[in-house]
A and B are shown apart, each in its own frame.
Chain A
């Protein structure tokens, strides 16, 4: 499959995810690109094999278009603008902050402490980050093992 087509699928997937506020299904991406669903699912599979997406094991639909998660997680990335508040799920705190970075806006991550469960809000304003209550970020899995089980990670 041509790299150019796979990239078009990848970009359109992300655009729809951001525009709609939820993960589009393969049929929606196909409709948007005016191509077949089978071409899109084949592109998904090749992008997943290259660790550029993560697919749901049964349906083959998107599970992760990092930093975005297609399913609810404990990391809600919320942005505010004149148009109002919008939110997406991140796969972890790195990814939830990554949603705000990717959208290049101010925002906050609504989450909880991994140790004690205390509610936490991590705010990003003018590219400065602050947590309430203050905290640190813990990575449990060494980098070389991230893709051994990316869903667990």
Chain B
């Protein structure tokens, strides 16, 4: 059950997701933007669908 990521995938996910969080320009990703990010990291299964 669930999803298993390599350490490298988890780091890239954390880096992509949070790198700009301190910026005043940061805004919450849209669902499509989040899906694009997951896809870019190879996270394409149903598990990573937000809707």
Residues of A within 8 A of B (CB): 7, 11, 14-15, 18, 50-52, 66-67, 93-95, 97-102, 104, 122, 124, 127, 129-131, 134-144, 146
Contacts and interface: CB of A to CB of B under 8 A. Distances in A.
Interface in B4-49: 4-11, 13-15, 17-19, 21-22, 24, 28, 38, 46-49
Given A50-B28, A94-B14, A142-B46, A137 B7 contact: yes
Nearest to A98: B18
Given A129-B8, A136-B7, A94 B19 contact: no
Contact of B15 (A51, A93, A101): A101
Nearest to A4: B24
A130 B7 contact: yes
Contacts of A66: 18, 21
Given A18-B22, A104-B19, A144 B28 contact: no
Contacts of B10: 93-94, 97, 129, 137
A94 B13 contact: yes
Nearest to A3: B27
Interface residues of B, number: 28
B7 A67 contact: no
Contacts of A18: 22
Given A51-B28, A95-B14, A124-B11, A136 B6 contact: yes
B19 A14 contact: no
A129 B11 contact: yes
Contacts of A95: 14, 18
Given A98-B18, A104-B19, A144 B1 contact: no
Contact of A101 (B1, B5, B14): B14
Given A7-B24, A51-B28, A142-B46, A129 B7 contact: yes
B14 A139 contact: no
Given A67-B21, A136-B7, A143-B47, A52 B28 contact: yes
